[in-house]
């Protein structure tokens, strides 16, 4: 009888207790319905298994529940957890205070400190310290910034 020595290294996966089923592409229960819902070609299924990204695309989240299976591809080198759709909960919406905080954080990264224009993209403030037009005179597209100071750009 071969017993490992006490000092042998044992590879233990804390999340795999041997009860996880492995599924390939389109083999998980309800996979075709989940893919149709993610692509916008069908309603959100009430049963089946979905990855975290598929749940997010359907407006759901795992809701604190543990994964029940794995989706495996690339000959077992890549995998993702699968969660039950019937236990998933609607994803949380950001509060107005969180939206304002996010808008302020983005405004700090998108506003040039010299010309006070707010661009639609984040500026290289750590390397250049300003927008390209202020830094080296490269003209900016008028559709790429907002010239007036806007307090917020929230949709609501």
The pLDDT assigned to 18 comes to: 66
pLDDT at position 15 is 62
The pLDDT value recorded for residue 2 is 61
Q: Indicate whether 57 pLDDT > 90.
A: yes
Rounded to two decimals, what is the model's pTM? 0.60
| Confidence at residue 98, expressed as pLDDT on a 0 to 100 scale | 96
Please tell me what DSSP assigns to residue 107: H
CA 1 to chain centre: 49
Query: What pLDDT was estimated at residue 125?
Result: 92
- 47 pLDDT tier (thresholds 50, 70, 90): very high
| Per-residue pLDDT, 84 | 94
CA–CA dist 6, 63 (Å, integer): 40
**Domain range list for the chain:** 21-90, 96-146
- Give the pLDDT confidence of 82-91 residue by residue, as tens digits: 999 999 999 9
Q: Give me the mean pLDDT over the 48-62 stretch.
A: 94
- Percent pLDDT > 90 in the chain is 60
Place 126 in a pLDDT band, splitting at 50, 70 and 90.
very high
- Token pair for residue 71? 């989706």
Instruction: Please compute the mean of the pLDDT values over residues 136-142 and round it to a whole number.
Output: 87
Is residue 80 within 8 A of residue 34, CB to CB? The reply is no
Q: Which has the closest alpha carbon to 121: 154, 100, 148, 145?
A: 145
């Amino acid at each position: 009888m071969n017993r490992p020595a006490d000092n042998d290294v044992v590879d233990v996966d804390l999340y795999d207790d041997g009860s996880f089923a492995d599924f390939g592409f389109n083999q998980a229960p309800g996979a075709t319905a989940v893919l149709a819902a993610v692509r916008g070609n069908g309603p959100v299924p009430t049963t089946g298994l979905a990855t975290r990204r598929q749940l997010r695309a359907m407006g759901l989240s795992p809701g604190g529940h543990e994964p029940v299976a794995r989706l495996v591809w690339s000959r077992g080198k890549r995998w993702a957890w699968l969660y039950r759709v019937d236990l998933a909960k609607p994803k949380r919406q950001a509060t107005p205070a969180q939206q304002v905080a996010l808008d302020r954080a983005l405004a700090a990264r998108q506003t040039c400190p010299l010309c006070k224009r707010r661009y639609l993209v984040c500026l290289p403030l750590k390397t250049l310290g300003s927008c390209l037009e202020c830094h080296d005179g490269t003209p900016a597209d008028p559709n790429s910034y907002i010239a007036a100071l806007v307090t917020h750009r929230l949709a609501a």
